[in-house]
Each structure stands twice: as structure tokens, then as C-alpha cells.
């Protein structure tokens, strides 16, 4: 990426770096050198901001467990967040923007605020893929990890993926008799 005469090769290097920064954090010792490298060599403008934002978000939300998925790779090429549709049990669909570091907690909080839900206790985010339904809960599970798992499942079961067949749902998961929502 430094002194590389090939523009396309250099661009692919920055895309790869952005994908890496979306999955894992550098060590505390290496972090200042990486930040300096990004500030001094990353092309000015949106891409520099995009990479710095990815690093900051991953530092705050932690390392992921799965590799980047195809949706995430496309988003990195375009330097844009990913829009996902979340379906409520009444059929309402809300679109939210996510990035590599977005957690189920962030999405649950955003959805609760969006529908003016005063008490979100027990509500969770779910992902469905073919006949599988998995609760992501309302914690630190990364949204992109769930999508990666769906893609890996499709690969392992030799199912052809034409369009993303995964869907997200927001619904009540825990009903506790002692909880008073007032």
C-alpha cells in the first residue's frame, strides 16, 4: 500500500485492512503504529474516515468470532454500512444500518427506541436461515458473525445461495412473572 504502483492492488489492500479491522483489534502495543500508518498513508477522504471508524467501533465492541461475510465484503468495497431489514411479529419491517462491529444489544436498543418501547426487558433479536432459527439475544453477539454463520451453513450443506435467505426478527424471548414493566 506504500509505494505500490498498482492502483487496484493498493485499493484491494485498503479493503483487506478494513475487513481485518472489522473483525479483530490490534494489540495495545501495535495500535498507535497502526493509527499513525492509517493517518499518514490512507487516501484522504471517505476511505480514511471509513477505516478509522471501523477501528474505533471494533475497539469499543470487541473482536468477532467469524470471518467477514459476502455482504460485509461488498460494503467494504463501497465504503458503506449494510442495511438489514428486521421484521416484528406483527409483520412490520424496519430497516437499520449495521457495520462489522454492530452487536445485537445495539440493534435491540435502536429498535426499542424506534417503536417507543418503554421497557425492552426480554426482547431479543433472532436470525432465521432456511429451517434454522437462532436467538442472538440482546447482548454482545455481532450481527455480522450471525450472517457469516449462515453463509458457512449454506456452504457446509451445499445449499445454493442466490440471495441472502437469512432474515432478522425482533420479538419477546423472556416472559418473567416477577417483572413489572411499569
Spacing of C-alpha 156 from chain mean position: 22
Closest CA to 169 of 97, 81, 104, 106: 104
Predicted local distance difference test score (pLDDT) of residue 118: 81
Phi then psi for 172, rounded to 5 degrees? Answer: -75, 130
Q: Does the 82-172 domain belong in CATH 3.10.20.90?
A: yes
Closest CA to 96 of 168, 155, 26: 168
Measured between alpha carbons, how far is 107 from 98 in angstroms, rounded to an integer?
A: 8
For the chain, the domains span 7-63, 82-172
Measured between alpha carbons, how far is 173 from 133 in angstroms, rounded to an integer?
A: 13
Q: pLDDT tens digits, the chain, 182 residues: what are they? A: 677 788 888 889 999 999 999 999 999 999 999 999 998 888 777 788 899 999 999 999 999 999 999 999 999 999 989 999 999 999 999 999 999 999 999 999 999 999 888 877 789 999 998 888 999 999 999 999 999 999 888 888 876 665 667 899 999 876 666 656 55
One-character DSSP codes across the chain: --S-S-HHHHHHHHHHHHHHHHH-PPPTTTHHHHHHHHHHHSPTTHHHHHHHHHHHHHHHH---SS---HHHHHHHHHT-PEEEEEEETTS-EEEEEE-TT-BHHHHHHHHHHHTT-S--TTEEEEEEETTEEEEEETSS-BHHHHHHHHHHHHHHTT---SS--EEEEEEE----TT----
Amino acid at each position: 500500500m506504500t509505494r505500490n504502483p498498482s492502483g487496484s492492488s493498493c485499493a484491494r489492500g485498503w479493503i483487506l485492512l478494513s475487513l481485518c479491522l472489522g473483525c479483530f483489534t490490534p494489540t495495545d502495543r501495535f495500535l498507535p503504529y497502526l493509527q499513525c500508518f492509517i493517518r499518514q498513508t490512507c487516501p484522504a477522504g471517505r476511505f480514511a474516515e471509513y477505516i478509522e471508524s471501523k477501528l474505533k467501533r471494533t475497539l469499543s465492541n470487541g473482536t468477532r468470532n467469524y470471518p467477514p461475510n459476502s455482504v460485509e465484503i461488498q460494503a467494504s468495497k463501497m465504503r458503506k454500512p449494510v442495511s438489514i431489514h428486521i421484521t416484528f411479529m406483527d409483520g412490520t419491517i424496519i430497516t437499520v444500518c449495521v457495520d462489522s462491529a454492530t452487536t445485537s444489544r445495539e440493534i435491540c436498543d435502536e429498535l426499542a427506541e424506534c417503536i417507543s418501547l418503554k421497557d425492552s426487558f426480554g426482547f431479543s433479536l433472532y436470525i432465521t436461515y432456511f429451517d434454522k432459527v437462532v436467538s442472538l439475544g440482546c447482548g454482545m453477539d455481532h450481527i455480522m458473525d450471525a450472517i457469516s454463520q449462515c453463509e458457512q451453513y449454506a456452504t457446509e450443506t451445499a445449499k445454493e445461495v442466490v440471495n441472502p435467505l437469512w432474515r432478522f426478527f425482533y420479538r419477546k424471548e423472556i416472559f418473567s412473572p416477577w417483572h413489572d414493566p411499569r
